[in-house]
Amino acid sequence: MTGITRLPHPEPADVALTDVLFALSDPARLEIVRELAAGPLTMAECGVTNPDLPKSTKSHLMKVLREAGIVRNEPDGRRRLVSLRKDELDAVFPGLLDSVLAAD
Amino acid sequence: MTGITRLPHPEPADVALTDVLFALSDPARLEIVRELAAGPLTMAECGVTNPDLPKSTKSHLMKVLREAGIVRNEPDGRRRLVSLRKDELDAVFPGLLDSVLAAD
């Protein structure tokens, strides 16, 4: 056993558009999504652009993003690997994530 | 004088993407935006798909949408006319409103 819990992930089709928009509407959450657009990161690497973020706050941000179907957060050995569910989101809400990531 | 106050409207360029996403993240606000996608409506006509909405709640929803640069709310004689600032938003956040309006 790894000691790292598997977390639940909704199917994007089961997530309301408003939940996705809400998850993206916070600057700290949006910053993490931007970081993940370049590729998966370990939980420890997420939020490097926001180093003063308390660990408990970061855990909560990641939970909101996961529950909105925006990120996948999976055990990877002793670490957690976080990835953007871009293809899945694109299938349900075409163009949404691209337009958000393209904006400054 | 008409007795109807002119309200302030931000330039879309002055609005943060996160404010726009937040304004769209509420089901009642998003429903009004969908109604306005077909064309301008009077304040009285806005929210017809949600007839039980208290007037004070509706005023607040409209204020959030206006302050996020999503709608224009202008005196028109004795009425208020509300319109979606689609072209202006499209210029600042290309594709965002279209992807939101296209989603179910």
Per-residue tens of pLDDT for chain B, all 104 residues: 556 889 999 998 899 999 999 999 999 999 999 999 999 999 989 888 888 889 899 999 999 999 999 999 999 999 999 999 999 999 999 999 999 999 97
User: What pLDDT, on a 0 to 100 scale, did the predictor assign at position A52?
Assistant: 87
Strands A41-42 and A79-84: antiparallel
pTM for the model stands at 0.93
CB contact under 8 A, B104 and A27: no
| Interface confidence (ipTM) of the complex | 0.92
Torsion angle, alpha carbons of B7, B20, A93, A76, to 10: -160
The mean pLDDT of A12-37, rounded to a whole number, is 95
Chain B: nearest CA to A71, how far in angstroms? 18
Distance of CA B36 to the CA centre of its chain: 7
Contact of B42 with B53, CB cutoff 8 Å: no
What residues of chain A lie within 8 A of the CB of B86, using their CB?
Answer: none
CA B5 to chain A, closest CA, distance in angstroms equals: 30
> Which amino acid appears at position A33 of this protein?
V
DSSP state of B5: P
Quote helix, strand, coil % in chain B, to nearest 5: 45, 15, 40
Nearest to A25 among B22, B94, B95 (CB): B22
